[in-house]
Structures are given as structure tokens and as C-alpha cells.
Amino acid sequence: MTTAAVDVCYLPDDTARAAAVLATDPSFAHVTAEITVLVEQALPYEPGEFFRRELPPIQAVLAGVTRLGLLIVDGYVDLDPHGRKGLGAHAHAVFGVPVIGVAKSPFAAATHAVPVRRGSSAQPLYVTSAGLPVAEAAELVRRMPGRFRLPDPLRRADALSRGAPVRPPG
């Protein structure tokens, strides 16, 4: 199965660059590929409808990925403990795989998110999930490679979405 960490960057010309870092397992012990795609017409941001803007680029970057088994997104899966859907819940519905949401900022209504501290950072990440228990998702995020607050796979997806060159696998 393939695990993917994804991120999207919106460019000044109304395009979006989506990036994915792929691995053979959730620990990202062996990164198998890095992918970027440019989406020619990014949708405008609509308050409360962030997923409408983010999902098309994520779908584009994952279009050729086979055997997707786990998706990690920059953001929340659900926005409150009652299940108000965030980006990750919509991605879970679209891709039909477990999704881990890793948010850098607290969201007041997301009292169910599990705070995860990594590296020497005093600020936690906020982990939510769909398709796997949130405690398991939080532990996966805690154990992901990287010595910084944000795990390396998400840091790399962010850098790629901002235009960093793709590295060959291995």
C-alpha cells in the first residue's frame, strides 16, 4: 500500500501547485516518489468551504497513484467533535482510504483534536482522523521522521508545493 502526504500552494496567477510525497508505509521509512502538478485554474477561497478549493489539486496530484492506503493532509479531518466535515473528511469520502489531518493551528471548535508535540517545539500539532482511531493517527504523526514540529513528509510536500525541485527516489 502507498502512503501519501500532500499539500497545496496557491500562486499569484490563480493557479495551484499540489505536491505529494509517497512512501511504502506510514512511517515514511522509504520514500518512493515525489510528485507535483500545476492546476491551471484554482478555485477561489470560500469561507467554510476550504475543501472545495483544496480537493481538486489533491485529486490531480494523486491521479496516477495506485494502491493508496493512507492519506495525510495539512488541515483538519473534521472541525468539531460532532463531525462537521473538514478537508480530511471530504478526502476520506473521495479516496475511500483512512485520512490523517495534521493542523498547525488550533481551531476553537476542534476540541476533539489530539495535540501532538514533536521535536523541541512547545507548540503542538493538532491531529484528527477518519478511517482509523485518532490515538493511532496521533502516534503515527508522533513517530514520523523529522526532528522538527512538522514531520518531514509534510514539510517536504509543503516545500514541493512552493516550488522546490523534485528529488529522484532513493
Q: Which tens digits make up the pLDDT trace of 120-153?
A: 889 999 999 999 999 999 999 999 999 999 999 9
Indicate which CATH number applies to the domain containing 77.
Answer: 3.30.2170.10
pLDDT digits (tens, 9 = 90+) for 65-120: 999 999 999 999 999 999 889 999 999 999 999 999 999 999 899 999 999 999 88
pLDDT digits (tens, 9 = 90+) for 34-49: 999 999 987 777 766 7
Residue 121 covered by a domain: yes
Residue 107 covered by a domain: yes
Residue 61 covered by a domain: yes
pLDDT category of residue 170 using cuts at 50, 70 and 90:
low
Cα–Cα distance, 159 to 152 (Å, whole number): 10
Cα–Cα distance, 9 to 98 (Å, whole number): 23
Residue 170 covered by a domain: no
Provide the pLDDT for residue 54.
92
Among the residues of the chain, which ranges form H helices?
Answer: 50-61, 87-95, 134-143, 152-161
Looking at the 3D structure of the chain, how many domains does it have?
1
Residue 166 covered by a domain: no
- In a 3-state reduction of DSSP, which class is residue 38? strand
